[in-house]
Amino acid sequence: MKLYDGGRAPNPRRVRIFFAEKGIDLPELVPIDITAKEHKSEAFTRLNPAQRLPVLVLDDGTALAETMAICRYLESLHPQPALFGQDAKAQALIEMWNRRVELGLFAAVAAIFRHGHPSMAELEDQVPEWAQANRDSLDDHLWLLELQLASNPFLCGETFSVADITAAIAIDFMKPARVQLPEDFVHIRRWHGEIAARPSWTA
């Protein structure tokens, strides 16, 4: 296998952290320089017509894109520790929280970064009004997380899951997006500190 990697960008990090949490060695990495628009090159577009990172190329040549598709594939090959849940109900609740965060907080922070950060003007047709709308709604997404973490050590209860990776990466992503986590989100702060202290987090 080969992993086409995008360095510090949030989705490549999610996949490398997933490998680390599984205790699997990373495959050969092929670095793709997003700031140099290498992900929009003809060669990379043939690999992933959606022009997004990361991409895992399997030994038979299949190019597997989309962070969660790659993580699910790794879970199939290496079921333990189960990061997508052990039984049908746990799996469903982890999928629910992972999607709530991806389509909520993660998408909002990404919109603020892509449509609001000066360095992204080269890569995106920026809509500053969309960045602002997401800044305005960010607290709603954070409250959803805060309430859940008030009564759960991890996002889906007693066990670390892929939903914690997604959510904690979204919090990390607030720094380049230049938005602060307000002091009063004490449960998010407690949980994020614990996640960021895991050995996987430097992957």
Q: Judge whether 11 and 67 are in contact, CB under 8 Å.
A: yes
State which of residues 1, 30, 95, 153 lies at the interface with a second copy (CB under 8 A). Answer: 95
State which of residues 93, 120, 123, 181 lies at the interface with a second copy (CB under 8 A). Answer: 93
Report if residue 130 touches a second copy, rule: CB under 8 A: yes
How many residues bind a second copy, per CB under 8 A?
A: 33
User: Considering only 35-43, 56-64, 151-159, 173-181, which stretch makes contact with a second copy by CB under 8 A?
Assistant: 56-64
Report if residue 47 touches a second copy, rule: CB under 8 A: no
Report if residue 99 touches a second copy, rule: CB under 8 A: yes
Smallest distance, a second copy to C-beta of residue 36, A: 21
Helix (H, G, I), strand (E, B) or coil at 82: coil
Report if residue 150 touches a second copy, rule: CB under 8 A: no
Token pair for residue 133?
């709308």
State which of residues 49, 81, 182, 193 lies at the interface with a second copy (CB under 8 A). Answer: 49
Query: What are the counts of helices (DSSP H) followed by strands (DSSP E) for the chain?
Result: 8, 4
Token pair for residue 47?
């690999």
Report if residue 69 touches a second copy, rule: CB under 8 A: yes
Radius of gyration (C-alpha) of the chain in whole angstroms: 17
C-alpha torsion 95→97→102→106, nearest 10:
-150
Q: How far apart are CA 105 and CA 67, in angstroms?
A: 17
Report if residue 62 touches a second copy, rule: CB under 8 A: yes
